[in-house]
Amino acid sequence: MTPTEMEPAARDRLLDSMLIALAEQSRAVLSLPGVLADAGVSEAEFAAEYTDVDACLAAAYQRLTARIETVVRAGCESGEEWPERVRGALGALLGELAGDPQMARVLTRTYPSIDATAQARYQAFVESFAPMLSGGRELAGSAELPAEVEALALGALEAILFEEIESGRAAELLELAPSILFSLLVPFLGPGQATAEMEKARRGS
C-alpha cells in the first residue's frame, strides 16, 4: 500500500461522510475539507483515489444502492411463491428506508437531483428491481400484459415513496407495506387476488 492509498475502513468513513454532508448541506455548498476532516482522510489520500467531489459522491451512491439491492434480493429469496417473494423484497426495501430517513431522501431525491448522470444512476437502481416482478407474468393467466408492466408497477411504488419521504414520513413506511404491496401486485394478479395478498400482509400471515 502506497503512502497515499486509503485503508478500506478510511474509504468507508469517507463515503459515509460524503453522503451525510450531501444530506445536510446539498451539493452546491458541500465542503470537501469538512468531509475529509470528519472521515480522517487527507487531501493526498482523496486525490489519489478520486478525481473530484462528484466522483467520490458517485462511488458513495453506488455503495449505498449496492447495499440496498443486496438486502432487497435477500428479502425476495425468503419467499416460495411469487407474491411472497415480492412481499419479502418490499419489506426489506421499506425497512432500509425507514431505518435511515436521511439516507432515504439522499437515495431518492437529493443525489438524483444533482444532474442528469446522477438521475440516470438512480433510474438504473430502480430498474434493477424489475426482474423481481417479472414472475408475475406467469400468474396473469390469459391477460395480455403490456411490455412495460414492471416499469408501471415500479412507478406506482416510486410515487408512494416520494410522497412519504418528501412529507417527512419515511420512518413510517413499513406501516404502508400492505397497501404498497397491493399496488405492486394488482397489475399482474388483478384486484381480487392482490387484495387477498394485501390482507395476508396485514395479518402477517
Give the tens place of pLDDT for each residue, 42-58: 999 999 999 999 999 99
In order of 85, 134, 142, 179, the CA distances from 138 in angstroms are 14, 8, 9, 22
Cell numbers standing for residue 31:
465542503
Contacts of 78 (CB under 8 A, 6+ apart): 84, 85, 88
Taking the C-alpha atoms of residue 38 and residue 25, their distance in angstroms, rounded to an integer, is 14
pLDDT of residue 2: 57
| pLDDT for residue 115 | 95
Of 108, 147, 151, the closest CA to residue 132 belongs to 151
Q: Which amino acid is at 39?
A: A
Answer yes or no: are the C-beta atoms of 157 and 183 closer than 8 Å: yes
Report the topology of domain 1-50.
Arc Repressor Mutant, subunit A (1.10.10)
69 Cβ contact partners less than 8 Å away, ≥ 6 residues apart: 125, 128
Could you tell me the pTM of the whole model?
0.92
Measured from the Cβ of residue 5, the count of other Cβ atoms closer than 10 Å reads: 12
The domain limits of the chain are 1-50, 71-203
90 sits in the region (left: phi over 0; alpha: psi -120 to 50; else beta) called: alpha
Which pLDDT tens digit goes with each residue over 141-176? 756 788 899 999 999 999 999 999 999 999 999 999
pLDDT attached to residue 6: 85
What is the DSSP secondary-structure string of 161-195? HHHHHHTT-GGGGGGGHHHHHHHHHHHHHHHHHHH
* Phi-psi map region of 145: left, alpha, beta (phi>0 left; psi -120 to 50 alpha): beta
Q: How far apart are CA 65 and CA 62, in angstroms?
A: 5
Distance (Å) of CA 87 to CA 23, 81, 153: 29, 10, 14
Look up residue 132 and give its three cell numbers. 423481481
Q: Give the start-end residues of each E strand in the chain.
A: none
CA distance 95 to 89: 10
Residue stretches of the chain with pLDDT short of 50: 1
